[in-house]
C-alpha cells in the first residue's frame, strides 16, 4: 500500500554528450521530464517543431504502408498473438538501423504509391468495362458507329427503347422508300437499328425515328464495333497485367514488413526524444535536464551518468506546489488492480494508495457475484495457461490483467464451493440421468444454497457491505491521522463509527428486523442499552461538529443536522450490496435453467450429443454475461460505495521519458 517517493532531479551535462545521455535516459525510463527552471540570457529552450513534424509524417507513412501491406498480404494474427507481447531486439539493431532508414522510408512511400496506382488502374478497368457493355449490342454491325451516310444516302445508327421487328419499322417509313432497315440486335429493353435511306429523305426519316424515341449510341467510334471490342480487350488485358505486376511488387515488400515496423518504432522513439529536447534548457555548451525520479532509482542513475559522461546530477525534495507524479508500489497480489484504481483516478496530493485494501474486497466481491466453481476454474485455467505459456514475452499490462482475472477466478471457485455451484447443478443432473443416483446432492454446499435461503444470503451481502463501508471510513480515518488532523478524525470518523455500529446493533435488536432477515442474533440487553447511549451521543456529536466549517452557529447547527441525515445515505449504500445476492442468484439460476433444458433431451446417444452441446453453449453464454455483470458491479461497488467514503484521486500517473514502441522493445546489453 504505497506510492513510491519521488524527488526532483537536475542533470547538468555537456552538449556533445546530449544524444547519448538522452538515449540512455530513454532506455532507463525512470525520469519524467518537466520544465522546472526559467529561461534566462544564457539558457534557453529551442524549437524543434520542423523535425517533429517530419518524424510525425514518417510515422504516419509507416503506419499507412503497414495497413496497406496488410490488405494484400495478411499477417497471421491469432487470438493469442496479443498475449505474445512485443519482440525483443538488441541495442545494436537500433544503432544499425540508420543505414536502412532512408531505403525503408522509400519502400513505405512506394507501397503507398503502388496502392494508389492499383486503385487508379482498377478505376480505368471498370471504365473500359462499361464501354464494352455499350458496344456489345453493336458487334454485328460492320461499319463504324459514327457512320452518317454516303454521297447519296443517309445512315442512322441508334437505339429504340423497346423491341421492334424490321417489318414494323418498314411500315412506319414506308412512304420514304427505297430504304434499308437492319436490326443489329434486339433485347426487351432496346432495339439497335441501322437505317439507310436516300439523302433527300434524311430529315423526314429522322423525324419519324425521333417519334419512335430513336437515340444515338452514347459512344462515337470511327472503327467497326467488333474491331473496337478487340482493342478494348487488349487494353484491359494490359491494365490487368500492370495490376498483377503491382500486386506482385507489393507482395514482395512483405519481407520488409519488420523494417517498416521498426521504422515506425524508431521514429516514435526519436519523436519522444525531440519532445523532451524542446523542454531542455540549453546554453552554448551545456544543457540541463529537469524532472522527477523515484527515489530508489536516483543513486544508480547518478552513478551511471557521472561514470560515463562529464555530468553533474543533483537531487532535491519536491516543492510544496509541485504536482508530483504518482508511481505505485504494490505486491503481486494487489498490483493487478492498479489499473482499476487508475480508471477511477490515480491518488491525488497527500492521498494514500487504496489498491491493497481494495484488492481484498475486489476479489471477494467479484467471486461472490460470479460464485460458480466451474466458471472460476475455467477463468483460472485460461489465465494460468496464458501466463505460463507467454511468461517471458508478455507485456506487463497484459500480465496484470490476466493475474487480476486469475485471482478473481480463485475467489469465484471459493464461493462456488461454499454455495455448491459447479456449472449450476451439472453434477447432480449428470448423476441423476446417467448414473441413476438418488442420494442428491452429490456435493452439498460447504455453507448453504443461496436459492433456498435468499434471506440469509441477503443478510450476508449486507454484512459484507457494512464491513466494506466501515473499512472505507477507516481509510479516511487513517488518512486524517496521517495529516495530523486529530479533530477531523474524531468528528468525521469516530463519531460515524459509533453511530453506524450502534444503529446496526439497535436494528438487530428489533424483532421486526430479525424476523425479516430470519436470524436470531441474541444481543444481550446491556449491549442494546450501551448502543442506545452511544447512538444518542454520536448523533449529538455529529450535529454539533460536522458543520464546523461554518462560523454562523445557526448555520453550523443546520449543517450538522444535514450531516446526520447522511445516515440514510449509509442505509442506501448497504442496500446497494444486495446486488451480491441478485447477481449471485442470476448465475446459479441461469446455469440451472441451462442444465434443465439440456436434461430434457438427454436420452440415447443423439440426446447425449445435444445435451453436451446445450450445456457447453449455454454455460459459455451464461459465464460471459455474468463475468460482465460481476466486473461492472464490482467496479461500481468499489468506485461509488467504497471510494465515496475516503478517496478523491486527481493525481497524475508517472510518465517517464521512455521507449513507447508498438512492435519492438530494445533489449539492454548489460
Partner 1 sequence: MKEFLNESGVFFAVLGAALAALVPGIASAKGVSKGGITAAGIITEDPSLFAKALILQLLPGTQGIYGLIIAFITFAQIGVLGGSSDISLVKGLLYLAACMPMTIVGYASAIRQANAAIASMGVLAKRPDQFGKSMIFPAMVETYAILALLISILAVSGVSGINI
Binding site for partner 1 (CB under 8 A): 340, 342-344, 451, 454-455, 458, 575-576, 578-579, 581-583, 585-586, 589-590, 592-593, 596, 625, 628-629, 631-633, 635-636, 639-640
How far apart are CB 401 and partner 1 at their closest, in Å? Answer: 12
Nearest-10 Cα torsion for 83, 88, 94, 98: -60
* Residue 156 · residue 214 · CB < 8 Å: yes
How far apart are CB 254 and partner 1 at their closest, in Å? Answer: 23
| Cα–Cα distance for residue pair 30/656, rounded to 1 Å | 6
**Cβ closer to partner 1: 49 or 397?**
397
Per the structure block, which three cell numbers stand in for 156? 442512322
Write the DSSP symbol of residue 351: P
**Cβ closer to partner 1: 240 or 520?**
520
**Among the residues of 136-177, which ranges form H helices?**
166-173
How far apart are CB 516 and partner 1 at their closest, in Å? Answer: 9
Cross-strand partners of 197 = 154, 179
How far apart are CB 610 and partner 1 at their closest, in Å? Answer: 19
**Cβ closer to partner 1: 510 or 640?**
640
How far apart are CB 216 and partner 1 at their closest, in Å? Answer: 44
How far apart are CB 573 and partner 1 at their closest, in Å? Answer: 11
* Residue 91 · residue 269 · CB < 8 Å: no
Residue 518, phi-psi category: left (phi > 0), alpha (psi -120 to 50), beta (remainder): left
Backbone angles phi, psi at 184, to 5 degrees: -75, -45
Cross-strand partners of 282 = 44, 287
CA 370 to chain CA centroid, nearest Å: 23
Burial class (CB within 10 angstroms; exposed 0-12, middle 13-18, buried 19+) of 254: middle
Burial class (CB within 10 angstroms; exposed 0-12, middle 13-18, buried 19+) of 570: buried
Q: Residue by residue, what is the 3-state secondary structure of 246-290?
A: HHHHHHHHHHHHHHHHHHHHHHHHHHHHHHHHHHCEECCCEEEEE
Per the structure block, which three cell numbers stand in for 117? 496506382
How far apart are CB 133 and partner 1 at their closest, in Å? Answer: 33
| Cα–Cα distance for residue pair 441/126, rounded to 1 Å | 71
**Cβ closer to partner 1: 356 or 401?**
401
At residue 463, the 3 state secondary structure works out as: helix
**Cβ closer to partner 1: 613 or 625?**
625
**Cβ closer to partner 1: 10 or 639?**
639
How far apart are CB 343 and partner 1 at their closest, in Å? Answer: 2
Q: How would DSSP label each residue in 70-121? A: HHHSPPP--TTHHHH-PEEEEHHHHHHHHHHHHHHHHHHHHHHHHHHHHHHH
**Among the residues of 136-253, which ranges form H helices?**
166-173, 202-211, 225-252
How far apart are CB 589 and partner 1 at their closest, in Å? Answer: 5
How far apart are CB 367 and partner 1 at their closest, in Å? Answer: 18
| Cα–Cα distance for residue pair 642/414, rounded to 1 Å | 23
**Cβ closer to partner 1: 546 or 592?**
592
- The candidate with the shortest Cα–Cα distance to 574, out of 455, 465, 461, is 465
How far apart are CB 321 and partner 1 at their closest, in Å? Answer: 26
Per the structure block, which three cell numbers stand in for 652? 497524475
**Cβ closer to partner 1: 11 or 66?**
66
**Cβ closer to partner 1: 268 or 576?**
576
Burial class (CB within 10 angstroms; exposed 0-12, middle 13-18, buried 19+) of 129: exposed
- The candidate with the shortest Cα–Cα distance to 3, out of 656, 489, 652, 565, is 652
- Beta-carbon contacts of 333 under 8 Å, excluding residues fewer than 6 positions away, are 359, 407
| Cα–Cα distance for residue pair 25/42, rounded to 1 Å | 24
At residue 439, the 3 state secondary structure works out as: coil
How far apart are CB 626 and partner 1 at their closest, in Å? Answer: 9
How far apart are CB 27 and partner 1 at their closest, in Å? Answer: 26
**Cβ closer to partner 1: 123 or 625?**
625
Per the structure block, which three cell numbers stand in for 227? 474491331
Cell 422508300, located at residue: 177
**Cβ closer to partner 1: 144 or 649?**
649
**Cβ closer to partner 1: 454 or 488?**
454
**Cβ closer to partner 1: 202 or 453?**
453
**Cβ closer to partner 1: 119 or 632?**
632
How far apart are CB 409 and partner 1 at their closest, in Å? Answer: 19
Backbone angles phi, psi at 149, to 5 degrees: 140, 180
How far apart are CB 59 and partner 1 at their closest, in Å? Answer: 17
Per the structure block, which three cell numbers stand in for 36? 522546472
**Cβ closer to partner 1: 245 or 624?**
624
**Cβ closer to partner 1: 305 or 340?**
340
At residue 222, the 3 state secondary structure works out as: coil
Straight-line distance from the first to the last Cα atom of the chain, in angstroms, rounded to the nearest whole number: 32
How far apart are CB 82 and partner 1 at their closest, in Å? Answer: 11
Amino acid at each position: 500500500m504505497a506510492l513510491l517517493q519521488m524527488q526532483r532531479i537536475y542533470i547538468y551535462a555537456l552538449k556533445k554528450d546530449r544524444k547519448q545521455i538522452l538515449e540512455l535516459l530513454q532506455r532507463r525510463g525512470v525520469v519524467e521530464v518537466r520544465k522546472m527552471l526559467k529561461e534566462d540570457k544564457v539558457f534557453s529552450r529551442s524549437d524543434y517543431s520542423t523535425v517533429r513534424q517530419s518524424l510525425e509524417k514518417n510515422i504516419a507513412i509507416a503506419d499507412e504502408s503497414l495497413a496497406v501491406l496488410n490488405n494484400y498480404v495478411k499477417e497471421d494474427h491469432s487470438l493469442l498473438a496479443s498475449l505474445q507481447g512485443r519482440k525483443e531486439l538488441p541495442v545494436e539493431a537500433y544503432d544499425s538501423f540508420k543505414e536502412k532508414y532512408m531505403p525503408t522510408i522509400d519502400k513505405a512511400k512506394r507501397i503507398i504509391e503502388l496502392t494508389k496506382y492499383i486503385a487508379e488502374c482498377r478505376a480505368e478497368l471498370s471504365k473500359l468495362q462499361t464501354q464494352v457493355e455499350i458496344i456489345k449490342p453493336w458487334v454485328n454491325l460492320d461499319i463504324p458507329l459514327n457512320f452518317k451516310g454516303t454521297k447519296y444516302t443517309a445512315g442512322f445508327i441508334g437505339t429504340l427503347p423497346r423491341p421492334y421487328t424490321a417489318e414494323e419499322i418498314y411500315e412506319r417509313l414506308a412512304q420514304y422508300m427505297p430504304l434499308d432497315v437492319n436490326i443489329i440486335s434486339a433485347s426487351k429493353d432496346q432495339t439497335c437499328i441501322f437505317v439507310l435511306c436516300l439523302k433527300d429523305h434524311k430529315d423526314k426519316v429522322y423525324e419519324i425515328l425521333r417519334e419512335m424515341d430513336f437515340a444515338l449510341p452514347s459512344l462515337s467510334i470511327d472503327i467497326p464495333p467488333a474491331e473496337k471490342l478487340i482493342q478494348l480487350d487488349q487494353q484491359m488485358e494490359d491494365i490487368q497485367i500492370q495490376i498483377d505486376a503491382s500486386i506482385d511488387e507489393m507482395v514482395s515488400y512483405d519481407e520488409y514488413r519488420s523494417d517498416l515496423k521498426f521504422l515506425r518504432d524508431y521514429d516514435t522513439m526519436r519523436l519522444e526524444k525531440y519532445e523532451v529536447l524542446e523542454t531542455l534548457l540549453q546554453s552554448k555548451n551545456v544543457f540541463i535536464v529537469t524532472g522527477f525520479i523515484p527515489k530508489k532509482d536516483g543513486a544508480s542513475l547518478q552513478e551511471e551518468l557521472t561514470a560515463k559522461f562529464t555530468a553533474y546530477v543533483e537531487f532535491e525534495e519536491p516543492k510544496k506546489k509541485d504536482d508530483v507524479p504518482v508511481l505505485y508500489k504494490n505486491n503481486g497480489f494487489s498490483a493487478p488492480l492498479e489499473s482499476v484504481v487508475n480508471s477511477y483516478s490515480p491518488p491525488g496530493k497527500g492521498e494514500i494508495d487504496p489498491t491493497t485494501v481494495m484488492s481484498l474486497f475486489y476479489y471477494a466481491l467479484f467471486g461472490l457475484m460470479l460464485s460458480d466453481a466451474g466458471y472460476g476454474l475455467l477463468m483460472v485455467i485460461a489465465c494460468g495457461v496464458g501466463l505460463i505459456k507467454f511468461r517471458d514475452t508478455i507485456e506487463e499490462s497484459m500480465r496484470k490483467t490476466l493475474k487480476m482475472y486469475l485471482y478473481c477466478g480463485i475467489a469465484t471457485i471459493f464461493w462456488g464451493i461454499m454455495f455448491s455451484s459447479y456449472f449450476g447443478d451439472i453434477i447432480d443432473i449428470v448423476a441423476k440421468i446417467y448414473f441413476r443416483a438418488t442420494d442428491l446432492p452429490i456435493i452439498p454446499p460447504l455453507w448453504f444454497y443461496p436459492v433456498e435461503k435468499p434471506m440469509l444470503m441477503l443478510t450476508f451481502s449486507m454484512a459484507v457491505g457494512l464491513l466494506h463501508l466501515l473499512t472505507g471510513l477507516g481509510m479516511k480515518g487513517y488518512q486524517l491521522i496521517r495529516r495530523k488532523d486529530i479533530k477531523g478524525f474524531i468528528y468525521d470518523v469516530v463519531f460515524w463509527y459509533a453511530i453506524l455500529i450502534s444503529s446496526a446493533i439497535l436494528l438487530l435488536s428489533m424483532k421486526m428486523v430479525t424476523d425479516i432477515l430470519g436470524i436470531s442474533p441474541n444481543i444481550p440487553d446491556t449491549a442494546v442499552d450501551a448502543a442506545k447511549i452511544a447512538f444518542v451521543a454520536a448523533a449529538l456529536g455529529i450535529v454539533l461538529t460536522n458543520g464546523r466549517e461554518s462560523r454562523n452557529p445557526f448555520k453550523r447547527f443546520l449543517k450538522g443536522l444535514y450531516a446526520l441525515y447522511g445516515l440514510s445515505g449509509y442505509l442506501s449504500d448497504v442496500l446497494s450490496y444486495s446486488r451480491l445476492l441478485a447477481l449471485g442468484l442470476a448465475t446459479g439460476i441461469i446455469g440451472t435453467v441451462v442444465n434443465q433444458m439440456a436434461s430434457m433431451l438427454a436420452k440415447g446417444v443423439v440426446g447425449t450429443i445435444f445435451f453436451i452441446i446445450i450445456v457447453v453453449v449455454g454455460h459459455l453464454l451464461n459465464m460471459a454475461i455474468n463475468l460482465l455483470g460481476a466486473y461492472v458491479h464490482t467496479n461500481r461497488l468499489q468506485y461509488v460505495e467504497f471510494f465515496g467514503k475516503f478517496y478523491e484521486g486527481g493525481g497524475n500517473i508517472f510518465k517517464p521519458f521512455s521507449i513507447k514502441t508498438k512492435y519492438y522493445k530494445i533489449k539492454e546489453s548489460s
